[in-house]
Chain A
């Protein structure tokens, strides 16, 4: 094809001096498109790798980022060649995005300047437990991802701890004391006393102190100040070794902070760390401050019964007042044994005679008091509260992939809160005897095997709930297995509630797969016939790691996954990948007319390539103007009954070789996307030339509107343009005042396929135009497009569909372009929308 281009360009006259040669523009544009495509693939690849089906190492990550960087440099150069250097500021933009990516890869970012010293749980970065500590990181995930109620709080990060040590010149002194202890010159009590004294005497740096006071002043009257060390609540537990201070008034938070820091060096903690061989490593402590819930009832839940009496049950322990009664085993507590399986029957409840409770003391601190006589023998929790807590505990377990120990509280109004969740520690003997997992699974009938693509690896069990419309979504039971034909974006809402997902279509790089990974829901896509084999209400177990679906609930497998196998999501490589992805994949630049659609507005790699693509296409859009300057470029005019005035520029294989002269006939189109779109557009009844009935308001608006109101309208010399190849189409179509852009590729490999559709403008007032945007969004989402609307702008895209699905959607787009041509005039009120959607579906089968 390159040869063809060269030959073509040789015939073209040299342009005026100062302008980039026309052939070069196209070469750069083509190269830019290829690089764009490749970077999109790399992004999709990284996303797929985060699903757990692949085994990768750091080298893979480094190589991928490296290639991405190189490609982007070429794209920036290409764009600047096309536009005579108008976007040179993209170079610093690239640096701004790639320097942190490369520091992440070298593991040097964690304590760098951009990391916060103090941050609220609601805003704390996820996947940075080395900054916020295990406990706070879990809470941030519970708040931000799982959206369960947690009392507000903030973290004083490990970075603040470092600054505290620096500020007080403590690091070397602590090191020296520890060394002399290790050498046997001092015992742990002396060592501990010296270190703790110097920490308590230290001064918190001014900036940090101000921020702590500000955060502490925001919330409730009292705070719980706890350690959140890295590794704590993780593989090693320091549970109980570090100090927790309850009921601290705002003015006492800084002193409490130092006390908790000092507890890192208590004699017990020192001995423990020495025993675990961790003394050599630098200890870094983050501290969590959480608002105190003046709880009426509080307690713990274990998602696995450690006493192993009933391994199919959870256990809830509860007592009156604040949490210490249960946690420290201070007295008799209520015990509820609840079945793990829906509807979570309470199998037993043992109500204890509760004599004492812990309650807040006025002025700070806490005290032990007598339980009033009438409450001693009463159950602390209602059945509804038990169920609520149990559902949350299972959600936590599903997400963290480990049996959980959950601290909770119920306030005076009866509202429940999660206070903490951590991996449950249990003696190995408590876990059932290890049997051969392969043999156990073999006893269950297999419904599906070796089909589909893994979007997120894992195991989940539940009843099948098929979802095909919004209505089904509201009925979706917590912890069910979602079975669906398509991975439509609107399913995103129920992903967090699903135990597993099976979709007949979709790809591991698609939108639903991305969401599933965010919520760690085991997901298989591309499972043909799933909705047929997996009937509503069936109990199934989905093992996406083995790509097997079992009939029934395979308890042995579920237990094995929870207890034996590694939660890959928490492996350092996966955390690193997710941190990299958060700087690469999100797309913030959607609307090209927004004021921040510029290089400084680019926040991710995806933003940059989106920006470059848009600007390059924009440049190409001015082709009508450019083409005039470069006489001799062969542009065909499409001859048809439909008055589009469409010009076609073929970059290779898009038209029949025998096409000659300046006219092209529809049957000579070879470009797959163009062909499909044209079939839709030229279909019977689509291009209605009947005058549209216009009501008064619509008509007045049409009359009074001038061309100049639509940006660029006046400068366009009245022709529409399609740039095509055999597999690609970029179509710009201005119809009246509407502006359509369709960019599509149909390749034999679905991974390369996309349809991008943009629609803007219109003749009537903004309300009506927005109404039309809503209508389009409505229709497009039925065809599984991911749609964003903003005012009268509609941006829709769909990725990675196989050929026939792509063609179907392009035909629909063709019809839709015809259908909506003058629609805003007809749409008089919001109530009209459903009627028009119906009208459209009547003529076009929804997918």
Chain B
């Protein structure tokens, strides 16, 4: 899937550049995309290390094991093959819910590693986990509220309830479409 998304985006972009007679700009644009990856990763790196480190402390203290035992049933309801990924999955969804996107990423990566069944093919648990992550279930969409406040909104929190309901609908759609599509993508 990503193979086609990537290929088609690059091809359309290059065709447009050439058709507009701006072929010389094309490579500059592509390189700036790569440069963006370095900048983005560097800006993530500090928070990423912090939360990975704190997760390590929680693990050594036996807290992640406790959390996993507590959350095993609810997590396995959605992701039957969760196994020992239950703790990072819970932490990832909780961090997302509280609007701590940057803390959510290292937990998510740890969850993916524990859901990995080897090879280069996604396991069913991975797909469900990704789909749930994509539904943006969040208590307070802080970044949107901040933009609304900056743009002079009289009631920046006005959108919290409709946003939450829409996210719930998105989560439900993620679960249903995951189950429905799994037969199509052996």
Say whether A and B bind each other: no
